[in-house]
């Protein structure tokens, strides 16, 4: 089978704390017939500064990423719900009236969230007979849920893993408390929000919490870690990779 | 009120929220109450096209606010035709002055009040008390708030933060004896007290959920019936109405009533909806002899035609508070002023100015749950972002802006980015092996106070 | 069918029966529902008032031609019956009322609401612990938008929609009836007109 090149923008958070997640993303993309090319020189979508209200600074960083991505062709896969939302929904606003406005609109249209892309080729997952014994809950990334409406795709992908029971979470659509700078500005509230989420997870009997946003994963994983909670917290790509996709 | 007893001055959201987080009852009570309301809302709206209804609500509010002056003119003319005296107040002080002089002209000694966020906004009660008037709040929750010299913590449920025991203590103080620990008994005691107040008050003061321009009608929603008591029994009725609460027609009201009641309490309609179109007329059995409407601007008009005009679409249902994951942790008092939750984080800086309220738009994770539930589809998430942008350009955040500029300088170059990522990884690795007391630096310390370090095993 | 049918929960759905819905919604807001003919109305009301032990009952002017017969029936049953408008100027008389009986301007099937106007007194329907409302069949309207249209032309100084008894849930979300207004709200749907009673 010929594999099709696809641009991958791993995002800054993954660069900083998730090198194995980057590998998992590449593995799964490879397994469904893509050959991922990491976008060289792309750094960050600018979201941290954009959300804090610093548009000039956000634009400066986003411009670099935008131009590097503009040099490529075809879909751009991003393994982060909120970065996808930033690029797809807010770049146009950020570059409104700017010399890169047209480029921003063109690149925004090419941006795809990881599970969307894999979902379109999900039947190829079966060939790997993915298997992982766990009781999982899926936590929706707020921006992916509300700004992009990507709800079913990650859940469908989990459905391909044998041995994985996916239970609905009562608080599945409630924010984990990360919120970027919010988590540092108001750490006590942020942690209390994570605790509510983790309490719900515990009550649901879930031992593997899955999400599609490195921000949520970092928040919930770090809090579970600090509390000594044995809960595992993984990206959809990591679940698929652990289950044997691409092996 | 003096600025020194204004919680918005001199404290930050972090301090205020920490104080609230330390109250275990609050953190149980808010989810319990708000989940109940949200479930009832979904249940009551289950078999209708709620998206279409919200869109109608949005359109009505947008079209009304876009042409507010024309609608206000119609409203004022209709009020006056109905025998209602209309007063215009540019700010809180003017509104208080108007209401005080109406009370004084009426020779009033005792005033009964219907819960009203607008009167909270202008801090009316202390002003009336200073004039020697006895002010009685008649909504049960607001009555207790007033007895305790406290503040409401939710737009619809003012004592969501209080336990029954606390309410019992407050009411027992009034009774001069220990009241039984029983909700029905406590309520019954308050009923008796307030009944006396209704029957002996000279003036009734209410807000206005809506003012209908077509008919010159003040619309009031309550479940307890105190709205009707306050506006029917005393000799004088004064309604304080935010200028944005106008609705052009009764057809519009037919859309807005179920949206407000549903979003506020999960009902189709509140138990009582009063539509008051003037004082008692010749031959009518009861009702006030005089009726006044005080139209309150207090920062509203300044929003017309600007980037924050949509904040005026709000009908104060409280639904955005109910779903807000931040509000659910900290309650309304953490926001420091009258309005809490997402709409509070929007209205406070707009009404009070950025010096006092500029921080509040940051007190959100931008999760967008409020956008999804707002009955008139106010884009709260966008408004919060826009407010952050305005706030971000101000001196109060100079250090933060400098940090953002430095970050932008680094991350707009490949070398700078790679270097800072390398430093960050190194820092995390070191932090993992160093003893806790050496993990300094504001960013890491704030993260690590309640959380482990991210990135163990190469996954976030 | 109103223009908001299927969109607003305060309207009837297409093809829905108004009386059935009215009864169901009254149940949902903890009001009672009964039907009566003009012939049996007085007896029904006496029974209902006896059940709650009412001794002093105010009857409002919007009962129209039916009021006289009701007053007589109540007095015959040894219940003190007064005209609300005659009692209203006296705070003591208002305090003494343990039930009021009113008519209505209209009723709304879809929301289980009755709408009283100034002839019922602004406080007539909520001053006493028990309120009983007589709804003439022809006054029962489908939904809220229709009701607001109808009453828009009435030129009333005050109209009040009420859906069930007065309530509060301010204390720990525990629902308590009769906060300021009635603890009990009864609705009698009259198959006919009050002046036939």
Residue among B263, B260, B257 nearest B37 (CA)? B263
- Token readout for C130 is 């028990």
CA distance, residue B432 to nearest chain A CA (Å) = 13
* Integer Cα distance of B263 and B377 in angstroms: 12
Residues A55 and A102 reside in one and the same domain: yes
Q: What's the confidence (pLDDT) of residue B1?
A: 39
* Integer Cα distance of C49 and B436 in angstroms: 74
* Integer Cα distance of B209 and B216 in angstroms: 13
Residue A124 lies in a domain: no
Q: Between residues 392 and 421 of chain B, which touch chain A (CB distance below 8 Å)? A: 392-393, 400-401, 404-405, 407-409, 411-414, 417, 421
Going from the first residue of chain C to its last (197 residues), give the mean pLDDT of each consecutive group of 10, the final group possibly shorter: 85 95 97 96 96 96 94 96 94 94 97 96 94 97 94 88 96 93 97 91
Chain B residue with Cα closest to A218: B460
What parts of chain B have a pLDDT lower than 50?
Answer: 1-4
How far, in Å, are A192, B1, B19, B25 from residue B30 at the CA level?
Answer: 14, 29, 15, 8
Chosen from B322, B369, B460 to mutate, greatest number of chain A CBs within 10 A: B460
Residue B164: burial class (beta carbons within 10 Å; 0-12, 13-18, 19+): middle
Residues A105 and A143 reside in one and the same domain: no
Contacting subunits of A (3+ beta carbon pairs below 8 A) = B
Chain segment B131-168, per-residue pLDDT in tens: 999 999 999 999 999 999 998 998 888 999 999 999 99
- Which of B328, B421, B443 is closest, CB to CB, to A16? B421
CB B414 within 8 A of CB B384: no
Better-predicted residue by pLDDT, C158 or A172: C158
Residue A193 lies in a domain: yes
Chain segment B21-35, per-residue pLDDT in tens: 988 888 888 988 899
Residues A75 and A30 reside in one and the same domain: yes
The sign one gets for the Cα dihedral C166, C169, C175, C180 is negative
Residue A18 lies in a domain: yes
Q: In chain B, what residues touch A187 (CB-CB under 8 Å)?
A: 446-447, 449-451
Residue boundaries of the structural domains of chain C: 18-165+175-192
* Integer Cα distance of B252 and B438 in angstroms: 62
Query: What are the φ and ψ backbone dihedral angles of B275, each rounded to 5 degrees?
Result: -120, 100
CATH classification for the domain delimited by C18-165+175-192, as one of 3.40.50.300, 3.20.20.70, 3.40.50.10420, 1.10.340.30:
3.40.50.10420
CA distance, residue B248 to nearest chain C CA (Å) = 13
Q: What's the confidence (pLDDT) of residue B394?
A: 63
How far, in Å, are A128, B198, C127 from residue B203 at the CA level?
Answer: 78, 9, 18
CA torsion B381-B383-B388-B394 (nearest 10°) is: -170
* Integer Cα distance of A205 and A197 in angstroms: 13
* Helical spans, DSSP H, in chain A: 12-17, 19-31, 47-52, 55-70, 81-85, 91-94, 101-110, 114-119, 142-146, 152-158, 182-185, 187-203, 214-227, 236-242
* Integer Cα distance of C10 and C5 in angstroms: 8
Chain B residue with Cα closest to A238: B459
Instruction: Give the number of other Cβ atoms within 10 Å of residue B454's Cβ.
Output: 22
Any idea what the Cα angle at residue A151 is, between residues A150 and A157, rounded to 5°?
100
Q: In chain A, what residues touch B13 (CB-CB under 8 Å)?
A: 186
Number of domains in chain A: 2
CB C74 within 8 A of CB C81: yes
Residues A60 and A99 reside in one and the same domain: yes
Residue A123 lies in a domain: no
CA distance, residue C5 to nearest chain B CA (Å) = 8
Query: What are the respective helix, strand and coil percentages of chain B, to the nearest 5?
Result: 55, 10, 30
> What is the SS3 assignment for A163?
strand
Better-predicted residue by pLDDT, C195 or A236: A236
The residue segments making up the domain with residue A47 are 4-118
What is the edge-to-edge ordering of all strands in the sheet holding B203-206? B85-89, B290-296, B236-242, B203-206, B110-113, B134-137
- Token readout for A221 is 């994983």
Q: Do B17 and A189 touch (CB under 8 A)?
A: yes
Residue-wise DSSP of B165-212: HHHHHHHHHHHTSPPPS-HHHHHHHHHHHHHHHHHH-SEEEE--SEEE
* B185 Cβ contact partners less than 8 Å away, ≥ 6 residues apart: B179
* Integer Cα distance of B364 and B391 in angstroms: 14
* Integer Cα distance of C185 and C27 in angstroms: 11
CB C118 within 8 A of CB C169: no
Residue among B338, B242, B356, B219 nearest B296 (CA)? B242
Query: What are the φ and ψ backbone dihedral angles of B214, each rounded to 5 degrees?
Result: -55, -40
- Token readout for A60 is 């400066």
Residues A19 and A97 reside in one and the same domain: yes
Q: What's the confidence (pLDDT) of residue B437?
A: 62
Buried b (16+ CB within 10 A) or exposed e, C77-88: eebebbebbebb
Residue A192 lies in a domain: yes
Region A105-111: mean pLDDT is: 98
* Integer Cα distance of B301 and B295 in angstroms: 11
Instruction: Give the number of other Cβ atoms within 10 Å of residue B28's Cβ.
Output: 12
> What is the SS3 assignment for B89?
strand
Residues A23 and A76 reside in one and the same domain: yes
* C12 Cβ contact partners less than 8 Å away, ≥ 6 residues apart: C1, C2, C5, C18, C21, C109, C110, C142, C143
Q: What's the confidence (pLDDT) of residue B25?
A: 86
Chain A residue with Cα closest to B373: A146
* Integer Cα distance of B431 and A180 in angstroms: 21
Side-chain half-sphere of C45: how many Cα atoms within 13 Å? 38
Chosen from C1, C8, C117, C148 to mutate, greatest number of chain B CBs within 10 A: C8
For chain B, say whether A186 makes contact (Cβ under 8 Å). yes
Residue A143 lies in a domain: yes
Counting every residue, how long is chain A? 247
The sign one gets for the Cα dihedral B296, B338, B141, B109 is negative
Residues A87 and A179 reside in one and the same domain: no
Query: What are the φ and ψ backbone dihedral angles of B241, each rounded to 5 degrees?
Result: -125, 125
Q: In chain B, what residues touch C4 (CB-CB under 8 Å)?
A: 53, 254-255
Domains of chain B in sequence order:
1-47+318-410 (no CATH), 49-301 (3.40.50.10420), 413-458 (no CATH)
Chain B residue with Cα closest to A188: B18
């Amino acid at each position: 089978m010929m594999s099709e090149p696809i641009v991958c923008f791993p995002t800054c958070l993954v660069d900083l704390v998730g090198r194995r997640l980057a590998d998992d993303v590449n593995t799964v993309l490879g397994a469904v017939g893509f050959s991922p090319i990491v976008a060289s020189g792309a750094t960050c979508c600018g979201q941290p500064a954009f959300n804090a209200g610093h548009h000039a600074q956000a634009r400066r960083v986003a411009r670099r990423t935008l131009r590097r991505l503009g040099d490529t062709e075809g879909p751009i896969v991003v393994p982060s719900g909120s970065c996808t939302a930033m690029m797809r929904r807010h770049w146009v606003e950020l570059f409104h009236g700017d010399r890169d406005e047209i480029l921003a609109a063109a690149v925004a249209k090419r941006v795809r969230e990881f599970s969307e892309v894999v979902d379109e080729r999900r039947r190829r997952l079966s060939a790997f007979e993915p298997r992982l014994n766990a009781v999982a809950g899926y936590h929706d990334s707020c921006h992916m849920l509300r700004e992009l409406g990507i709800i079913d795709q990650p859940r469908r992908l989990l459905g391909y893993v044998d041995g994985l029971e996916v239970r609905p979470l009562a608080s599945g659509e409630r924010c984990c408390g990360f919120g970027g700078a919010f988590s540092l500005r108001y750490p006590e509230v942020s942690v209390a929000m994570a605790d509510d989420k983790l309490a719900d997870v515990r009550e649901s009997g879930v031992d593997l919490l899955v999400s599609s946003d490195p921000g949520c994963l970092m928040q919930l994983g770090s809090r579970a870690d600090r509390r000594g909670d044995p809960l595992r917290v993984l990206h959809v790509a990591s679940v698929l990779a652990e289950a044997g996709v691409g092996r | 009120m003096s600025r020194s007893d204004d919680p918005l001055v001199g404290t930050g959201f972090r301090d205020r929220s920490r104080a609230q987080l330390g109250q275990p009852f609050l953190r149980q009570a808010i989810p319990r109450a708000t989940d109940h309301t949200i479930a009832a809302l979904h249940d009551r709206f289950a078999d209708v096209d709620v998206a279409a209804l919200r869109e109608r609500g949005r359109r009505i509010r947008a079209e009304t606010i876009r042409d507010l002056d024309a609608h206000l003119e119609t409203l004022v003319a209709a009020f006056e035709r109905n025998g209602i005296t209309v007063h215009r107040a540019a700010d809180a002080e003017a509104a208080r002055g108007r209401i005080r002089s109406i009370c004084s002209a009426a020779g009033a000694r005792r005033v009964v009040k219907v819960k009203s966020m607008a009167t909270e906004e202008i801090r009316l009660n202390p002003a009336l008390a200073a004039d020697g008037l006895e002010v009685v709040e008649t909504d049960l929750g607001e009555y207790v708030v007033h007895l305790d010299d406290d503040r409401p913590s939710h737009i619809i449920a003012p004592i969501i933060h209080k336990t029954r025991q606390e309410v019992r203590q407050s009411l027992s103080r009034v009774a001069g004896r220990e009241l039984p620990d029983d909700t029905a008994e406590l309520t019954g005691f308050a009923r008796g007290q307030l009944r006396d107040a209704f029957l002996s008050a000279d003036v009734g003061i209410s807000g206005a959920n809506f003012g209908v321009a077509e008919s010159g009608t003040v619309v009031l929603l309550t479940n307890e019936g105190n709205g009707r008591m306050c506006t029917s029994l005393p000799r004088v009725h004064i309604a304080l109405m935010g200028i944005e609460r106008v609705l052009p027609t009764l057809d519009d009201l037919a859309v807005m009533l179920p949206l407000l009641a549903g979003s506020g309490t999960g009902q189709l309609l509140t138990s009582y909806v009063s539509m008051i179109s003037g004082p008692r007329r010749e031959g009518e059995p009861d009702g006030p002899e005089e009726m006044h409407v005080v139209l309150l601007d207090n920062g509203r008009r300044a929003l017309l035609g600007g980037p924050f005009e949509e904040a005026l679409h709000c009908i104060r249902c409280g639904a955005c508070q109910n779903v807000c994951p931040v509000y659910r942790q900290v309650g309304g008092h953490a926001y420091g002023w009258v309005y809490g939750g997402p709409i509070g984080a929007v209205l406070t800086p707009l009404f009070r100015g950025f010096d006092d309220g500029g921080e509040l738009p940051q007190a959100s994770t931008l999760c967008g749950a409020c956008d999804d539930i707002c009955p008139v589809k106010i884009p709260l998430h966008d408004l919060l972002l826009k407010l952050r942008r305005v706030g971000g350009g101000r001196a109060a955040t100079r250090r933060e802006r400098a940090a953002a500029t430095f970050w932008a300088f680094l991350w707009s170059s490949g070398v700078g980015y790679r270097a800072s990522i390398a430093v960050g990884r190194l820092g995390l690795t070191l932090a993992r092996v160093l003893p806790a007391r050496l993990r300094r630096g504001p960013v890491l310390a704030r993260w690590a106070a309640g959380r482990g370090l991210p990135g163990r095993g190469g996954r976030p | 069918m109103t223009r908001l049918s299927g969109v607003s929960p305060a309207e009837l759905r297409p093809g829905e029966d108004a009386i059935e819905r009215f009864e169901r919604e009254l149940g949902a807001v903890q009001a009672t529902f009964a039907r009566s003919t003009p012939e049996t109305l007085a007896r029904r009301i006496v029974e209902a008032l006896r059940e709650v032990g009412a001794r002093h009952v105010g009857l409002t002017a919007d009962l129209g031609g039916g009021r006289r017969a009701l007053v007589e029936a109540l007095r015959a049953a040894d219940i003190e019956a007064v005209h609300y408008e005659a009692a209203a100027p006296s705070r003591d008389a208002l305090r003494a009322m343990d039930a009021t009986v009113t008519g209505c301007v209209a009723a709304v099937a879809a929301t289980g609401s009755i709408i009283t106007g100034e002839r019922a007194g602004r406080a007539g329907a909520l001053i006493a612990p028990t309120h009983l409302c007589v709804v003439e069949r022809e006054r029962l309207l489908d939904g809220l938008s229709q009701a607001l249209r109808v009453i828009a032309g009435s030129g009333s100084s005050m109209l009040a929609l009420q859906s069930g008894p007065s309530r509060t849930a301010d204390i720990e979300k525990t629902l308590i009836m009769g906060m300021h207004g009635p603890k009990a709200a009864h609705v009698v749907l009259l198959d006919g007109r009050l002046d036939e009673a």
